[in-house]
Amino acid sequence: MLLKGKTAFITGASRGIGKSIALRFASEGANIVFNYLQDRPAATRTALEIEQTGARALHMQGDVSQDACVRELIDRTLQEFKTIDILVNNAGAGLTKSFATITTGEWEHMLGVHLRGVFLACQLAGEPMRAQKSGSIINIASVAGNIALPLRVIYATVQAGKMMFTKALACEWAESGVRVNCVAPGTILTDLVRRNFELGLLDGAKVLERTPMNRFGETSEVASAALFLASGESSYITGQTLFADGGWTSWGGWPLAAQKG
C-alpha cells in the first residue's frame, strides 16, 4: 500500500475528481479528511465508501474561500489525526462568462476559492509537514492555466496563478522535505462537465476534435496522477504541473483529421 498510515486532507471531495482521489488514497491505506460545500448527503455517501475500504473518514462542511473555515478544517484534522501527510487542494468553482459582464464579486469569489483558500490551506497544513520533515501538497488546476480559452478570463487567471504558486512554494519548501506539485486536468467527465455540455457552455464534439487521444478523461485517471504525486514513487519530483489532458496542451494546432487518413 503506497499510503499506508498516512493522513490526507482533500478539499471538495464529496463528488467528482475529489471523490475519486479520496477513494483511491483510501484504497492505498490513507485515512481521509475532506470538506464539502453544500451537498451533505453526497458527502455522507462518500465517507461511507471510504470506510468500506477499511480507512477512517472524517467529513466536514466548509467554504474554502473563508479564512475561518479553512482554519477550522485544518484544526479538526490535526485534533483527530495529529498530523497531515498529504494535502490536496481540489475545491474549485467555474465561471464561463463574457469578461465585460463579470462583477467584482465574481472576481473576488474566484480568487477566494482558487487562490486564497489554497494559500491558507498550504500555510496551515504545511506547519506539521515541515515539522515532521515530510509531506506532499497537490494542487488541482486546469489546462486553462496554460492555454487561453474564450469566456474564461478569470478561470484561466486563477489556474495560471495556482501553477506558479506551486512552483514558487515547492522551491521554498524543498529543503524542509515538503513537496508541492500540481495536476492540471483536461475535460474530465464529471457531473459539472456533463451539465456544461447540456447548457451549451462546452461543446463536447469540439473538445474531442481538439484532443489527440480523442476521448474525455475519467476522474479515476486524475486520481492516479494525484496518487503518484502523493506517494514515495515521486520522491524526487517537486514544483511540477502534470497535465492529465489526453494531449490537449501538447497539440500544435494542425487538424487532427489530416493525421488519420
Per-residue pLDDT of 53-86, as tens digits, reads 999 999 999 999 999 999 999 999 999 999 999 9
The mean predicted confidence, pLDDT, of the chain is: 94
Question: The whole model's pTM is what?
Answer: 0.94
**Grid coordinates representing 84?**
497531515
Query: What percent of the chain shows pLDDT beyond 70?
Result: 97
Q: In the predicted model, is pLDDT for residue 258 greater than 70?
A: no
Question: In terms of CATH architecture, what is 7-189+218-243?
Answer: 3-Layer(aba) Sandwich (3.40)
- Taking residues 171-187, what's their average pLDDT? 97
Predicted local confidence at residue 201, as pLDDT: 83
Among residues 34, 36, 81, 155, the one annotated as catalytic is 155
155 is catalytic: yes
Parse the chain into domains and list their residue ranges: 7-189+218-243
DSSP sequence for the chain: -TTTT-EEEESS-SSHHHHHHHHHHHHTT-EEEEEESS-HHHHHHHHHHHHHTT--EEEEE--TTSHHHHHHHHHHHHHHHS--SEEEE---------GGG--HHHHHHHHIIIIIHHHHHHHHHHHHHHHHT-EEEEEE--GGGTS--TT-HHHHHHHHHHHHHHHHHHHHHGGGTEEEEEEEE-SB--HHHHHHHHHTSS-HHHHHHH-TT-S-B-HHHHHHHHHHHHSGGGTT--S-EEEESTTGGG--SS-GGGG--
Q: Which segment of 140-154, 207-221, 224-238, 246-260 scores lowest on mean pLDDT? A: 246-260
Per-residue pLDDT reduced to its tens digit, 191-221 = 888 888 888 888 899 899 889 999 999 999 9
Is pLDDT at 230 greater than 90 in this prediction?
A: yes
Dump the DSSP string for 193-223: HHHHHHHTSS-HHHHHHH-TT-S-B-HHHHH
